[in-house]
Amino acid sequence: MKIRLAALAGTTALVVGVAAVATSTASTDDVRAKGRDEPLVAAFDRVDRGTEWVHADTVDLDFETYHPQAMEVVGDRIYLSSVEIIEPTQRYPEPIDGYDRSPGRGVGHLFVLDREGNLLRDIEISDGHRYHPGGLDVHGDALYLPVAEYRPDSSADIYRVDLDTYEVTRMFGVDDHVGGVVMDQATGRLVGQSWGSRRFYEWNVKGKQKDTWLNENHFLDYQDCEYVAARKTLCSGVTGLPAQPGADAGYELGGFAMIDLRDGHRIRHEVPLQLWSAAGHVITRNPTDIDVETRGDSTELTLYAAPDDSDEGAGTQVLIYTAEP
């Protein structure tokens, strides 16, 4: 296993805060402790195809971001996972040992940024063929992250990163590609999804599988999920659709889904989202994060997205939109 921690010149001890998902930290903790829904749940329930998302800001990332995978904005920090591809995978004419493609070579990165997009730390995490980091989740002073092989039906390691010391600890391995994890704060268990999010898994922190279920959504492949109290996960994703007759190129369908993590694992609410990046990608292609802020009777959602790779369009940009559903 290879883990390298690079601190950029001029950085000091980092201050880690709590995402603005409520009007105060105390109220957020109270909501989660008592099992009530956060304001984000009710606000997302009101989002539909007619919701107006207003472009509020763009943060340009002026370092090599490679192929970003997931993002979480917490306090004054942005955590961004990305895969650096050194040797692309190659499809086999016929499956070999259960794999449909070669493993390729690469390096997994966990970037720590400030709100202005400045790179503070680059934590490299990889272990042989497992170099593809996925959807991450921040809970308290810890960040949870899978690093998988870059092919379906393969393997992954689940890591915990201490956000005070940036110590990286391998928690357990999984005999499947895991594309993202969230910490269910009510049960203390991790929930992850497979390649294309066709399967979901639930493990305790020692890696014992406690549950598995099939994804009832067939419109989107979830790329990035975040935990939302109480016992829900908000996932964004994309599906590449073939070109219609007479068209020159295919189409990216993007959107969000709120999934209940309790028995039944039903999709509570889902909605398409067709906003586009400088490189022409739907903005839910890879990293996203949504926060909510309540002021009296008004509620505002803030959407962060980083759909483009560093070698596309204008490079990787964090696009920021707001909406009042």
Q: Which two tokens stand for residue 295?
A: 């002021």
Contact call for residues 136 and 145 (beta carbons, < 8 A): yes
Q: Which residues of 305-324 are buried (b: 16+ CB within 10 A; e: fewer)?
A: bbbbbbeeeebbbbbbbebe
* Structural domains of the chain ordered from first start: 2-9+30-323 (2.120.10)
Confidence class for position 243, pLDDT limits 50, 70, 90: confident
- Chain-centre distance of CA 122, in angstroms? 17
Query: For residue 50, what pLDDT is reported?
Result: 94
Across 290-310, average pLDDT: 93
Contact call for residues 158 and 143 (beta carbons, < 8 A): no
Confidence class for position 36, pLDDT limits 50, 70, 90: confident
Query: For residue 188, what pLDDT is reported?
Result: 96
In tens, the pLDDT along 68-122 reads: 999 999 999 999 999 999 999 999 999 999 999 999 999 999 999 999 999 999 9
Compute the mean pLDDT over every residue in the chain, rounded to the nearest whole number: 90
Tell me the sheet residues that pair with 168.
Answer: 161
Confidence class for position 264, pLDDT limits 50, 70, 90: confident
